[in-house]
Amino acid sequence: MIRRRFNGTVDVLQLKDFATQLRRDSLRMVHHAGAGHIGGSLGLADFMAVLYGYAMEFDTENPDYINRDRIILSNGHTCPPWYAALARTGSIPLDELASFRKLGSRLQGHPARKSLPDFVETSSGPLGQGFSVANGIALSQRLKGNKTRVYCIIGDGESQEGQVWEAALTAAHYNLGSLTLFVNDNGLQIDGSTSEVMNVEPLDMKFASFGWNTRVIDGNDIESIVRELENIDPNQGKPTVIVGKTLMGKGVSFMENRSAWHGSWPDAEQLKTALREIGNSRYYTDFSITEAENV
């Protein structure tokens, strides 16, 4: 089934419900794996919900659909809500989420094209590189005459990489209007705050000086995300960056705004508390885990 870009009237409540389920799925995946990066994943869930619930065009039955929009998750460690979005839209089996980070699983801790070639445009892990790949994809699609959009997601800590700024120069130089960059800007990285490790702010002014259209929004506000994505004109000649001010560990009180949860995972009791705080979604049920810790 082809899901059309910005098709119909946006249902904000349903998108919020979608984001809630992506958070629930991400928590269960990381807990079950006993490894992962839950903090940034919870903060990214709202943007991922808008992409897959409203903004992107793709075909769940034909992943190679030529006019599909492309997504590049450059900060690949925040892949749990992406995998969950693929499952919740019918692109991969829902019960496959239980295999996250397991030996032999397609759903590796960083998206791998070799494992999941139908959906992963490029393997990610080394920070900074996905942005450059996104530029290449946007250029190739323009040369082919395809009207696709390219969405690239990076972290604020990732923007400390020099390659990010080379890519920013390149996208502006080639007027890649079809490219939208989302910065998951929670102000934290594994060693603490970005301001202390290597200050990157103000990101919007830096990108503007490189020739980008810039937006700063509440990256956990569904309506703001929808509004900004709807207002992007891919024919404008400039790439667009959305600096999304997100909250690490969004929705879970003991995880919120704490760098310790960048690369940690909840134990069984913490998972129960986190799921209670996130709340239930109206339209979805949790995926089934058939092993002992079926929480």
Is 4 within a domain?
no
Is 111 within a domain?
yes
Q: Where are the beta strands (DSSP E) in 160-257?
A: 179-185, 188-189, 192-193, 213-218, 240-245
Q: Is pLDDT above 90 for 75?
A: yes
Residue 239 contacts residue 179 (beta carbons within 8 Å): yes
Identify the domain containing residue 255 by its residue range: 20-278
Is 294 within a domain?
no
User: Which pLDDT band, with edges at 50, 70 and 90, does 7 fall under?
Assistant: confident
Is 9 within a domain?
no
Is 15 within a domain?
no
What are the tens digits of pLDDT across the range 160-172? 999 999 999 999 9
Name the helix (H) or strand (E) containing 188: strand 188-189
Number of domains in the chain: 1
Residue 221 contacts residue 46 (beta carbons within 8 Å): yes
Is residue 42 classed as helix, strand or coil in its secondary structure? helix
- Weakest mean pLDDT among 76-85, 124-133, 134-143: 124-133
High-pLDDT (> 90) share of the chain, %: 94
Residue 183 contacts residue 225 (beta carbons within 8 Å): no
Residue 177 contacts residue 238 (beta carbons within 8 Å): yes
- Whether a cis peptide bond, with omega within 30° of 0, leads into 93 is no
Q: Which two tokens stand for residue 30?
A: 């990381």
Q: What is the mean pLDDT of the chain?
A: 95
User: Which pLDDT band, with edges at 50, 70 and 90, does 295 fall under?
Assistant: low
Q: Is pLDDT above 80 for 290?
A: no
Q: Alpha-carbon torsion 47, 244, 42, 83, what sign?
A: positive
- Where helices occur in 34-128 by DSSP H, the ranges are 38-50, 80-88
Is 254 within a domain?
yes
pTM summary value: 0.96
Q: What is the CATH number for 109?
A: 3.40.50.970
Is 121 within a domain?
yes
Question: Looking at residues 164-182, what average pLDDT do you find?
Answer: 98
Is 283 within a domain?
no
